[in-house]
Amino acid sequence: MSTGTLTIDLDALAANWRALDAINTGETAAVVKADAYGLGAARVARRLLREGARSFFVAIAEEGAALREIVGPESSIHVFSGHMPGDADMIADCNLVPMINSVDQMIRHAEALPGHGFGIQLDSGMNRLGMEPAEWQAVREIALAQGPRLIMSHLACADEPDHAMNARQLRSFHEMTEGLDIPRSLANTGAILLHRDYHFDLARPGIGVYGGAPFTDAQPVVTLDLPVIQCRDLEPGETVGYGNDFAATRPTRIATVAAGYADGILRAMGPRTQLYAEDTPCPIAGRISMDLIGVDVTDLGHDPASLRLLGPEQGIDVLAANAGTIGYEILTSLGARYSRRHIGA
Ligand SMILES: *Cc1c(COP(=O)(O)O)cnc(C)c1O
């Protein structure tokens, strides 16, 4: 087999969800958009259901429809993109809760599915999705008359605890929702960790469940092992890979592993990233290719059968820092070619 093996530890994932649930003062949902950040929405949702999660969030109605098959009829499934043209049948058939984010969507929903449950999404300053204060003010009475099930907003800077934006958005959310007898939701992972003032009735963690920052106490969830296809000796002066980026300065042993940037191993991480043979770090030699990576295994003293890119010794946030990005992008870039193995199911 020449594909990498992506191992997803569902016990660690469950422990992360429980740890966030223990900090959170309200109900704890789970965000499983983008195939649960690339880790397999079906397996993730089934496990979190067993842990007690009863509310799920997805980005688009199609994800919600697939999730309904997994979680059964009892759980609530909320759709961040709200009610888009063409979504009515899916929303009705799969009993999804669209998080309505504009007057247009509200009209579309009321016309297509009168009486069908929905939520309201407010923009408290991020300027991304949701009704702004003035728009909300204008339609508030009409919306409330139809009995929304949840009112939510989203923070722009929750992973920066000292950022003044957090308090500003909290104040705006309070102003827009004060006195309403409807469950409220503001917190993602970062906001759960900020302060209980941000928790409200329902929190929506994603990245922390999957083992990423800003939940620094999270257990690592993913391990990625890449098979070695070939090993070779280099004389000093010989080079490796495109652009001759690596040149041997000593007799060198190079292992070539079967994965590359087409598998989400971003080229930018190359110069700072190592692969591990058990506990021994082996630096990447030369540029990351589409399907192959050269690794300097000289100091290892033997030819490994496989090398580990992601694991407890080097997690998603280390790779993210090496590539100048965030753990979210490392996870959601994980390639379709890996064989995915879920343990602790
Ligand atoms: C993705 C998302 C979340 C989850 O955020 P994390 O930072 O991954 O915890 C919560 N709410 C909204 C609106 C989102 O788009």
Q: How far is the C-alpha of 187 from the C-alpha of 198, rounded, in Å?
A: 6
Structural domains counted in the chain: 2
Residues 197 and 272 placed together within one structural domain of the fold: no
Residues 273 and 148 placed together within one structural domain of the fold: no
Residue 16 lies in a domain: no
Which is the catalytic residue, given 33, 198, 261, 338?
33
pTM above 0.85, yes or no: yes
Compute how many other C-beta atoms are within 10 angstroms of the C-beta atom of residue 57: 27
CA of 211 to the centre of ligand 1 (A): 14
pLDDT at site 67: 98
78-90 per-position pLDDT tens digit: 999 999 999 999 9
Domain final residue pick, 150, 173, 203: 203
pLDDT at site 2: 82
The mean pLDDT value for 254-276 works out to 98
Residues 197 and 226 placed together within one structural domain of the fold: no
Domain final residue pick, 203, 237, 265: 203
Residue 15 lies in a domain: no
Query: What is the residue-wise DSSP string for 168-235?
Result: HHHHHHHHHHTT--S-EE---HHHHHH-GGGT-SEE---TTTTT-TT-TTPPP-EEEEEEEEEEEEE-
Closest CA to 207 of 220, 194, 225: 220
Residue 97 lies in a domain: yes
Share of the chain above pLDDT 90, in %: 99
Residues 196 and 228 placed together within one structural domain of the fold: no
Which is the catalytic residue, given 37, 198, 210, 242?
242
Domain final residue pick, 203, 237, 257: 203
Residues 188 and 231 placed together within one structural domain of the fold: no
For 98-105, which contacts have Cβ atoms below 8 Å and span 24 or more sequence positions? 98/61, 99/150, 99/152, 100/143, 100/148, 101/129, 101/130, 101/131, 102/131, 102/135, 103/131, 103/135, 103/138, 103/139
Residue 71 lies in a domain: yes
| Residues 88/116, Cβ–Cβ less than 8 Å | no
For the record, the structure tokens of 114 come out as: 């009168």
Share of the chain above pLDDT 70, in %: 100
For the record, the structure tokens of 87 come out as: 């979504």
Residues 57 and 178 placed together within one structural domain of the fold: yes
User: What's the CATH number where 175 sits?
Assistant: 3.20.20.10
For the record, the structure tokens of 85 come out as: 């043209």
Q: How far is the C-alpha of 303 from the C-alpha of 213, rounded, in Å?
A: 34
Residues 194 and 229 placed together within one structural domain of the fold: no
194-211 per-position pLDDT tens digit: 999 999 999 999 999 999
Residue 33 lies in a domain: yes
Question: Per-residue confidence at 220, pLDDT binned at 50, 70, 90?
Answer: very high
For the record, the structure tokens of 339 come out as: 């064989």
Closest CA to 162 of 123, 194, 188: 194
Atom of ligand 1 nearest to the CA of 33: 1
Residue 153 has pLDDT above 90, yes or no: yes
Residue 97 has pLDDT above 80, yes or no: yes
Residues 140 and 198 placed together within one structural domain of the fold: yes
Q: Can you give the residue range of the structural domain that contains 238? A: 222-343
Residue 214 lies in a domain: no
pLDDT at site 345: 76
Residues 196 and 240 placed together within one structural domain of the fold: no
Residues 66 and 152 placed together within one structural domain of the fold: yes
Residue 38 lies in a domain: yes
Atom of ligand 1 nearest to the CA of 210: 8
Residues 332 and 254 placed together within one structural domain of the fold: yes
User: What's the CATH number where 281 sits?
Assistant: 2.40.37.10
Question: Per-residue confidence at 103, pLDDT binned at 50, 70, 90?
Answer: very high
Residues 244 and 154 placed together within one structural domain of the fold: no
Closest CA to 77 of 10, 28, 14, 32: 32
Atom of ligand 1 nearest to the CA of 121: 13
CA of 343 to the centre of ligand 1 (A): 25
The full length of the chain comes to 345
For the record, the structure tokens of 69 come out as: 């098959």
Which residue out of 57, 99, 316 has the highest number of ligand 1 atoms within 8 Å of its CB and is therefore the one to mutate? 57
DSSP 8-state class, residue 122: B
Which residue out of 31, 159, 332 has the highest number of ligand 1 atoms within 8 Å of its CB and is therefore the one to mutate? 31
Residue 300 lies in a domain: yes
13-37 per-position pLDDT tens digit: 999 999 999 999 999 999 999 999 9
